[in-house]
Amino acid sequence: MNIAVLLSGGVDSSVVVHLLCEQGHRPSLFYIKIGKDDAEYMDCSAEEDLEKEIGHYFPEIFKASADCRYNNCTHRHEPGCAVREAVEQHYISESRYASYLNMLEVVDLHREYWDNVAAYAIEKVSRGFTPNPDVMCNKLIKFGCFEQQVGRHFDFTATGHYATTVLQNGKTWLGTALDPVKDQTDFLAQIDYLQVSKLMFPLGGLMKQEVRDIALKAQLPSARRRDSQGICFLGRINYNDFVRRFLGEKEGRIVELETGKILGTHRGYWFHTIGQRKGLGLSGGPWFVVRKDTDENVIYVSHGYDTELQYGHEFSMQDFHFITENPWEGIKDEIPVTFKIRHAPGFIGGRLWQDETGYRIVSDEKLQGIAPGQFGVVYDEAAKLCIGSGEIRYSTPPNPQCPPYRG
């Protein structure tokens, strides 16, 4: 079996390689480069972690890499590469350098990433929505562009995602992971049938602590490395700084929804999302963002943890995408399902309805911070199969006083 493994620089993908090798496979290793060589804000910190992983076996190369001009240098073609300079000056042997390059193939997809994912995120934010770049990266880059350029030459592509594949009635379905806390099927809910049919998830049947234990026992360099957080391509700057580079700042009012009182100012609605609590700069909190008026650049907030204005019970989705097929074809009545509206442990019960505009979820419990632009991810009633997802565009206002969402 010919298997390609996508490495991320973290413990999970390292354990994937270890497990496959233990099973007798000899997988080919790939890293998708999405950071730009000349742009700090597109510098992926995971690339440094990956270098440490490979550098464990090449200490002289890892030492020289500290002097490279760019933090995400692959030591192949970038200007100011200290490793290639050391090879030219015979401080590092050419044979060792060749072995280093052959151990891992770097697939440069930074242009494709910018055109398909980063630009998508900026466009959504500019319209007041809350995008999910990780979902689109999996669909368009990791299992899209990579598959077209490299993955098509392999039988399977393996990753460190916490998910499974399930063969049912002769078809492959995306299944949830054993560990409900680490389950990552919500990040994969926009992939298609051809993609899910070629994927392997060796960690799907393991708990996270088991993965850590395997890494420690095997003495993998990433064994104690913390899990990555946030969006990979941002590197050392935060999300707001990235958005500011493209959308700038524009002062607007922060208004208490219940009273209409002006509480302060913000620097642009695009820096805020529904359900947000931190970063508002208001005293006497907690304050939560409950609505945005993008036409007037106004952020509406509500006070307290228990205010009903934070919550909704239903939302609509547009452009709903089924991964394998629609298992409810022809059903007109409500369908019991489970779902997620953000990456979080566990699943929420509810009912799925189809109307003239698309699909609508009515939740069994109150939902805090339903953010248009995010993906509503739908599972079967038992939360075993991920059926698909759609972009949230409307949530029922929890109170008639709420102004309509303008986005």
State the DSSP code for 187: G
Extract the tokens encoding 84: 């290639």
Peptide bond before residue 398 is cis, with ω within 30 degrees of 0: no
Separation of alpha carbons 160 and 184, rounded Å: 10
CB 309 within 8 A of CB 258: yes
CB 20 within 8 A of CB 172: no
Who's near 236: CB < 8 A, 6+ residues apart? 40, 43, 45
- Which residues are part of the catalytic machinery? 137, 232
Q: How many CB atoms neighbour CB 404 within 10 A?
A: 9
Classify strands 358-368 and 348-355 as parallel, antiparallel or unpaired.
antiparallel
Separation of alpha carbons 407 and 393, rounded Å: 9
DSSP 68-124: -SSTT--SSS-TT-HHHHHHHTTSS-HHHHHHHHHH-EEEE-HHHHIIIIIHHHHHH
DSSP 230-247: S-GGGTTS-HHHHHHHHH
Torsion of CA 311, 382, 336, 276, to 10 degrees: 20
Extract the tokens encoding 369: 């911070």
